[in-house]
Amino acid sequence: MSSAAHSHSTLAGPVAVCVDRPILSLDRPFTYELPSELGAGVGSLVQVPFHGRSVRGWILGPTDDVPARMLRVTKLVSPVASFDELGLTLYRWMRERYVAPLATVIDRAVPPRVASEESIVATVGANVSSAFAPTRLPSYRSGPALLAAMGPEGSGTFVLRPAPADEANMAVECVCATLGGGLSAVVIVPEAEPLPATAGAIVEAFGDAAGLFLGGDKRSRYRMWLDIAAGRYRVIVGTRPAVFAPLKDLGLVYVDRESHALHREERAPYYHVRDVARARARIQGAACVLSSFCPSIETTAFAHTQVEPAARSWAPVEVVRPGPEGRSPRLIRAIGQATRAFLFEPMRGYGVARVCRVCREPAACASCLGTIRQRSGEVTCSVCGAPGRCANCGASDFGIARGGAERVEEWARAVAGVPVTLHAPGDARRPVGQAEVVVGGVDAVKDVGPVGLDLVAILNADASLRRPGLSARERTLTAWFEAASWARPDGRVIVHTAHPNDPAVQALVTGRPARFHRAEAPRLAEAGFPVGSPVFRVAGTADLSREIESLPHRSILTSDAGGATVCLVALDPATLLRFGEAMRRLAERGVVTRVEAEPHL
């Protein structure tokens, strides 16, 4: 093992230790005496006595907080340091930003240890062999500024809106510029399977110097982490955990499809890659690039430089009023003329049950009163999955209002001049064939590289925009932009909507998400969740609402369910540290039982 994988300054004497007890009420360092013969330092994984038991912990550094009675660190568990000073700075930032125990943050950032892998010597110093050089980026608005920021003296946050044909190439050019300055790069993609075209382009361009940090079992993930720490790679491509990849001399953190929902961690500390990437780049003096066809509204809340093509590179967008079942004469003609097309239909199945044919009552599930749908020839509840039976009489004969991906496939077959394929959830994701019309929803829209379709149609636009949730409209627009990116520049994008002046529709027509952001920000502020406000869901006892109301806040929503009190809190960023300290005190008192950052609303 190269010394680069576990180099640290050996410490001795009183040290602060983060005990591996991921409980908010215990989220503070504990002081232990560190014997010099252990050879441990910052980031070392050690064993310490804690409440009568031997537990793991991480050394945070020397401390002046020395109690009258101090226990000793008993064992160095691993010769490999879990983090260095810069990594610890990032983890402490996450602890404050997401009000999470530091032990939870470290446990999420460092893969589980496999001791037998630590004895394997890593190959260090792969050479970069790439014929790529920045050619398209210099022609982008603010492209030269981004290139300069990826050099040894550069830094800053950049929001990149690539042309559809340039998505993977932009990542390659940014990495190339970074490596040319003698620095390393991390590229984070939202998914592992199938391998996104952007990730594949990086690996193809940089060969053995690029490592894939995604998927795999426990052993292979730890092996890759050790190799990264040892300096085996100059470029790392991976999903969320790659944002913590222990690369040295970091010059670039690149987040691909920044607005994608999978960039948000669903487990504590519930971090978003976008925010962690910005923080890490700031701490390590690197450039942060947030790339997306439709940047998230959160990017408007912090200072950044916008980078985009100098001229429009998207296919023109036509807005058409939908006809029966969402069909219009213009769309029918376009499908008949197209050789390659994608019909974006967000609703699954064949249709929705509206009325029971036996008792004539409105259709509702007998088990949960949920909506009943027809899918794959079967009628089931879309909420609980039970067989479709009328809540009033128990019958299973319903009048179906046709509409959904299966129905679109059916009528498209009658008008298309090429085969029509339905992309169902769980199907292998692939580009549209050379002579094919594909019908699918969000599951079908993935990073498969430039597709160059004759036609992309956005169906059921109005229903998509009416979905519940504060961020539902933004997620819908993001999916539209990603689907529209499949059309070639001289192709067609047709949107079916009865509300052509809706800001989301107009954002797609103009190719300018900023128009949507300007309209959406006041709506979010009116709802009590201004853009840029940290939001938390806090659960606790009946005293919780009174305690939180005494703290600075922008809005609070309180509910009581199952004997617990749940508060939804939006904060001014300036009060975040005070809020976190209060949550830890309340957790010690038993008032707070759970804190979840950035919950789905």
Is residue 4 over pLDDT 80?
Answer: no
- Give yes or no: residues 171 and 250 share one domain: yes
The confidence score (pLDDT) of residue 120 equals: 78
Residue 550 lies in a domain: yes
Q: pLDDT digits over 199-212, tens only?
A: 999 999 999 999 99
The confidence score (pLDDT) of residue 127 equals: 62
Best CA proximity match to 208, nearest among 188, 174, 182, 231: 231
Domain count, the chain: 4
SS3 150: coil
Q: pLDDT digits over 211-235, tens only?
A: 999 988 999 999 999 999 999 999 9
The pLDDT of 431-447, averaged and rounded, is 91
**Alpha carbon separation from 493 to 308, 316, 488, 489, 571 (Å, rounded):** 21, 6, 9, 10, 40
- Give yes or no: residues 442 and 570 share one domain: no
Comparing 580 with 382, the larger pLDDT belongs to 580
SS3 174: helix
Q: What is the DSSP letter of 332?
A: H
Is residue 26 over pLDDT 70?
Answer: yes
The confidence score (pLDDT) of residue 403 equals: 87
Is residue 22 over pLDDT 60?
Answer: yes
- Give the residue numbers spanning the domain of 35: 3-85
Is residue 426 over pLDDT 90?
Answer: no
φ, ψ dihedrals at 115, nearest 5°: -60, -35
- Give yes or no: residues 470 and 339 share one domain: yes
**Alpha carbon separation from 37 to 40, 75, 82 (Å, rounded):** 8, 10, 19
Q: Among 2-11, 98-107, 453-462, whose mean pLDDT is lowest?
A: 2-11
Residue 383 lies in a domain: no
Q: pLDDT digits over 389-409, tens only?
A: 999 999 999 998 888 899 999
- Give yes or no: residues 191 and 252 share one domain: yes
Residue 360 lies in a domain: no
Q: Which tokens in the block code for residue 334?
A: 């376009």
- Give yes or no: residues 252 and 201 share one domain: yes
Q: Indicate the pLDDT class of residue 310, thresholds 50, 70 and 90.
A: very high
For 200, other C-beta atoms within 10 Å of its C-beta total 18
Over 495-546, what HEC string results?
EECCCCCCHHHHHHHHCCHHHHHHHHHHHHHHCCCCCCCCEEEEEECCCHHH
Is residue 511 over pLDDT 90?
Answer: yes
- Give yes or no: residues 466 and 489 share one domain: yes
Residue 447 lies in a domain: yes
- Give yes or no: residues 508 and 582 share one domain: no
401, 355 contact by CB (below 8 A)? no
- Give yes or no: residues 292 and 339 share one domain: no
Residue 555 lies in a domain: yes
- Give yes or no: residues 512 and 569 share one domain: no
Residue 365 lies in a domain: no
- CATH label of the domain that carries residue 550: 3.30.70.260
Q: Indicate the pLDDT class of residue 1, thresholds 50, 70 and 90.
A: very low
Residue 121 lies in a domain: no
The confidence score (pLDDT) of residue 228 equals: 95
Best CA proximity match to 351, nearest among 385, 389, 388, 401: 401
Strand order in the sheet with 317-320: 317-320, 487-496, 453-458, 340-344, 436-440, 420-422
Residue that terminates a domain, selected from 517, 544, 578: 517
- Give yes or no: residues 546 and 497 share one domain: no
Say how far apart CA 445 and CA 558 lie, in whole Å: 37
395, 361 contact by CB (below 8 A)? no
Q: Indicate the pLDDT class of residue 7, thresholds 50, 70 and 90.
A: low
Say how far apart CA 306 and CA 320 lie, in whole Å: 31
DSSP E strand stretches across 79-191:
156-160, 184-188
Q: Indicate the pLDDT class of residue 323, thresholds 50, 70 and 90.
A: confident
The confidence score (pLDDT) of residue 126 equals: 59
The long-range contacts involving 499-503, CB below 8 angstroms and separated by at least 24 positions, are 499/462, 499/465, 500/319, 502/465
The confidence score (pLDDT) of residue 413 equals: 95
- On average, the pLDDT of the chain sits at 92
Q: pLDDT digits over 531-588, tens only?
A: 999 999 999 999 999 999 999 999 899 998 777 899 999 999 999 999 999 999 999 9
The pLDDT of 138-143, averaged and rounded, is 95
The confidence score (pLDDT) of residue 125 equals: 61
Q: Which tokens in the block code for residue 77?
A: 């568990």
Is residue 27 over pLDDT 60?
Answer: yes
- Give yes or no: residues 14 and 69 share one domain: yes
The confidence score (pLDDT) of residue 132 equals: 58
Is residue 194 over pLDDT 60?
Answer: yes
Q: pLDDT digits over 240-261, tens only?
A: 999 999 999 999 999 999 999 9
- Give yes or no: residues 509 and 559 share one domain: no
Is residue 275 over pLDDT 70?
Answer: yes
Residue 379 lies in a domain: no
Provide the percentage of residues in the chain whose pLDDT is more than 90.
Answer: 78
The pLDDT of 478-506, averaged and rounded, is 96
Q: Indicate the pLDDT class of residue 156, thresholds 50, 70 and 90.
A: very high
- CATH label of the domain that carries residue 343: 3.40.50.300
Q: pLDDT digits over 440-476, tens only?
A: 998 889 988 889 999 999 999 998 999 888 899 999 9
The pLDDT of 107-119, averaged and rounded, is 92
Residue that terminates a domain, selected from 274, 307, 340: 307
